[in-house]
Structure formats: structure tokens, C-alpha cells
Amino acid sequence: MKVETVKKNICINRIVTQKTEKIVLEEDAIIPDIKPDILKPISTSGNVCIYKKEVTDGKIKLEGNIAVYLIYLADSDKDNIRGINTNIDFKEVIECKDALDGMSVNEKITIKSIECKVLNGRKVNLIIELEAEVTIYANEVLDIVNDVQNVQDIQEIRKNVKFNSVVGSNSTKTYAKETIKIDTGDNLAEILRVDVSIINKDTKMSYNKILAKADADVKIMYLTEDNRMRNVEEKIPIMGFVEMQNISENDICDTKYTMKNILVKPNSEEEHSIYVEIELEVSCNAIKEEQIEILEDLYSPSMNLDFNSRNIITMVNKKNKSDVYEVREKMQIQELAGEKIRDIRITPNINSVSTSRGKIKYDGEIRADFLITSNNQTTIESITKTIPIMYVMDYDEVTENSRIDTNVEIAMQDFVIEDSEVTLNINLNFEVSQYNQINMNVIEDVNINEETCSENPYSMTIYFVKEGDTLWKIAKKYKSTVDDIIRLNEIENPENIDVGMQLFIPKYVCAKSN
């Protein structure tokens, strides 16, 4: 006899593994012939581009490049400050035993440091330390048994479960393009540094589409023909439509912007402008909260049922929240006396994250790199100061067991300089995604095992309760029912049976089907 079952289709977002890996890149860079020799490096920075990522069995493959900008003191009386730009390609394989072909990966790669060593006047050695945080997840479709219809005496344990199911995942390619104007009095000689960050992210869900909007905050430092260091900043709008079937406004959408390529090109001298083009991939993973009733366990007293059950780990109670951490700091920089600040670069670093009920605690530091020159730019140096981050975010849904994913971006930065005192006004935007993990035991199919079905020679068993026993376990083992055991033994509280308690257990006859 075939067991007739009713099945329900669910799609779960399963976090397979999370891993942090240190990546070290090393490469030599040549000073172009048209530039003077390098005397010493002053400042290094870079932008990370990822143009390929892939999950295979046991491995994560990442390919991309680092656009490195080096500002240096030239070994020349005429040209004191110069710069070079070089692209360092990388192909990195991260070992991950739980990874399987076809799974998805969410990566966050941060430049921790760039060290520059002068080999000779025409060559430098660059060592870049990257931190790669990778999360592998699998969107898995399951057909689970929700009901058994043609077994009359079926015994079941049912449970109502809330979990986060997957609406869909998709991505699109878009571009941020802009011609950035510079001062008409500036004749651009070369670009010294480019910093790009993605800020002001926003998503809107409509019928089968996700509108992703953000800004590319582009800061460019350039050198003029008359040897002046100048800065220009522009926010370039980003917009992309991601196709997503069955998306609704109540769903949660995780949106990620990955820079794949950056093109920065000065226009003709007469135009006084710089063309910037950024290629981006906008990827969206949409989930919703769902509640279902699942069968956790079953048996029949009159026939032997075999079933395949499976324990799955999935997400629940996923919430996204953003908050602003304000930093107001005054610091004395004695080196500023009689000097001029040409640029300040702010880099936030989170060193540790801990959770308690309703709170997330962050510890880290803000690194402030000051580029200082004399008024006539005959000298230049870089000075680094740090500001501690001790920030506690209130987050009602967070518990000690919550999983936290945090992205920190600079929402605002302003500086007031008076003699050797600098007042920093910085707003850091914390974008936080939290979720919990739950274990669900689901049944995938049910069959009658007729080979093991034999007549039961005894109609009653006397059993003494052991440690860890429940009425369900006892009834299932001896082909009885929980209700019959309760009734025969006059048990008042089925949830509380004592070790050593004597139970009379009635049995059924296991019959073979025709």
C-alpha cells in the first residue's frame, strides 16, 4: 500500500559558513619615465574592484584588482610632489570544506594596509594586506511532508515554525558616470589620488522589481602645472533595476554594491574636468518571514512506517537597521604649526563586536591620515592619529545568540582647524543586519516497510521510565499511543513523568497490507 502524503514547497536561505581570511599581495611598481625619481613615499591608498567570484567544491575563487595611488617626494628641485597609479591584479583561492559548486558567496574585502618600500629611484615594492570576509549561503528548495492521508491510526508531532524563506536572488550591472569640473584656474598636471565609496543606499520594492539607489562619493586629489595640490569631490548617482518575481514591500532586501572597474581620465586642458566611470554590480537577496506547520515525527501503531527526515539550519527573525554614531573630537597636532593641511582621510575599523539582549557593542578605532605641507609646498609629510570607537547600538531584536553583519560608512566629515588644533566632526553610519539560526527537523517522504512488519506476540508491556524518556518516545518504541498510555496509567501531567515510574503500555498488532 502506498502512503499518500501532502507536501509543501519551501525555499530556505541557509548560511553554510562564514570565514575571515587575510590576503597579502606583493608587487613591484616602476616609476614612469616622464616622472622624476622617487626620494621617499608620503602616502598610499587604494580602491578594491572585484570582477569575478565563484564557489566550487571546497573553494571560493575571487578575482579582482587594487587600484593603488602613491604620492611621493620627488628627487628633484623643481617637482617636489608627484604621484603614480598602478593596478595590482589578484586571484585568490580561499579553502572552505563546506562549499559546494553553485552556492552563492557574499564577500567584503577591506584594505588594511599598504606598505611602500623604495628599491631604487625608479622602482618601489608594494605590500598590500587585505581582509576578506566571506559568507557562503545556499538557497535551497525543499518538498516537505505536511500530512499523511491514508494511514488511519497515524501518530504525529506537529510544530508551528517561523523562519525566513527566500523570495529570490538576482543582480544587475550598472554604471556611475560623471564629468567632474575643476577650478578654471587649474591646469591639471596629474591625478595624485582617487577615493571612491558607496553611500546613501536605498531600495524600493515594486511589482516584480527592486529599485536600488545610492551615490558614489568620489574624492580626487590632483596636482596642477604650477605644482599646487588641489581637491575636488563629487557625488555621482547610482541607479539600477533588479528583476525579482513576487517581491513585496513587506519583504526584506539585502542589497550589495560591488565595484568591478574604475576609470578616471583627465579631459583636455581646455575643459578643466575629469571623466569618471564606475562599473558596478548591484545584487539583491530578498527574503520574507513565513510560518508553517511541520511534521517533526510520526509513526503508526499498526504498521511499520519508514521515513526520511532531515535536520536543516535556516534563518529566522532577520531584521535590518541603520544608526548614526557621532564623533566630536579635538586633537592637538604640533606639526601643524606654520603648516597647511592638504588632505584628511578617515578610515573606520571595527576590531570586535559583542551582543547582549537588546544591544550590540562595537570596539574599534577611526584612523585619521593628515597630509601636511608647508605653505610653499617645499616639504610634505603624512601624520596618522587614531580615535577610539566605543559604540553601543540599541537593537531590540538582538540576543546573545544573534548573528551580526555590519557595514560602516562615513556619512559626514567636517574639520575645523585653528593653529595646531583640529576639531573633527564625523558621522559614521552603521548598517546592521541581524538574524538567528534555528534547527528544523523535516520529513521528506514516508513508506510502509512490509518486510519488517510482524505480529506482536504481546498485548501489554510493563515499562519503567528511564532518564530522557518522554511518553512519545515510549509509545513509538512499543507501538502504542500516548493517549492510551495516559488513560491506562491515569497520568495527570503528561509532560512530567518521573524516572523509575512504572507504566503499563498497551500494544497494537502490526498488520501486513495486501
Residue 360: which of 429, 428, 410, 430 has the closest Cα?
430
pLDDT of 507: 76
Which range, of 115-129, 169-183, 411-425, averages the lowest pLDDT? 411-425
CB–CB of 350/390 below 8 Å? no
Together in a domain, 53 and 121: yes
Together in a domain, 286 and 328: no
> Grid cell 568591478 — which residue?
260
Residue 390: which of 345, 327, 322 has the closest Cα?
327
Q: What's the DSSP call for residue 334? A: G
Residue 282: which of 203, 217, 168 has the closest Cα?
203
Tell me whether residue 123 is in a domain: yes
Question: How long, in residues, is the chain?
Answer: 514
Together in a domain, 183 and 55: no
Please identify, among 381, 402, 436, the residue that sits at the C-terminal boundary of a domain.
436
Together in a domain, 288 and 340: no
Any residues with CB less than 8 A from the CB of 496 and at least 6 apart, and which? none
Phi and psi, residue 401, nearest 5°: -100, 5
| Cell numbers representing residue 208 in the block | 516584480
Tell me whether residue 336 is in a domain: yes
How would residue 514 be classed by pLDDT, with cut points 50, 70 and 90? very low
Together in a domain, 207 and 248: yes
Together in a domain, 139 and 2: yes
- Mean confidence (pLDDT) of the chain: 89
For 270-288, the pLDDT digits (tens) are 999 999 999 999 999 999 9
| Cell numbers representing residue 380 in the block | 610634505
Q: What's the DSSP call for residue 3? A: P
Tell me whether residue 331 is in a domain: yes
For 445-470, the pLDDT digits (tens) are 888 876 655 455 557 889 999 999 99
Tell me whether residue 67 is in a domain: yes
127/309: higher pLDDT:
127
3-state secondary structure of 321: strand
266/153: higher pLDDT:
266
For 102-135, the pLDDT digits (tens) are 888 999 999 999 999 999 999 999 999 999 999 9
Query: In terms of residue numbers, what domain contains 204?
Result: 167-293
Together in a domain, 405 and 478: no
Whether 376 shows a pLDDT value over 80: the answer reads: no
Please identify, among 80, 115, 150, the residue that sits at the C-terminal boundary of a domain.
150
Q: What is the CATH number of the domain that holds 485?
A: 3.10.350.10
Together in a domain, 422 and 465: no
Question: Mean pLDDT over residues 420-428, rounded?
Answer: 90
Together in a domain, 143 and 171: no
Q: What percentage of the chain reaches a pLDDT higher than 70? A: 94
For 203-259, the pLDDT digits (tens) are 998 888 999 999 999 999 999 998 888 999 999 999 999 999 989 888 999 999 999
Together in a domain, 146 and 172: no
Tell me whether residue 341 is in a domain: yes
Whether 511 shows a pLDDT value over 50: the answer reads: no
Tell me whether residue 30 is in a domain: yes
- Residue 23 to residue 130: CA distance in whole angstroms: 5
**Count of domains for the chain:** 4
How would residue 513 be classed by pLDDT, with cut points 50, 70 and 90? very low
The burial of 306, by beta-carbon neighbours within 10 Å (0-12 exposed, 13-18 middle, 19 or more buried), is given as exposed
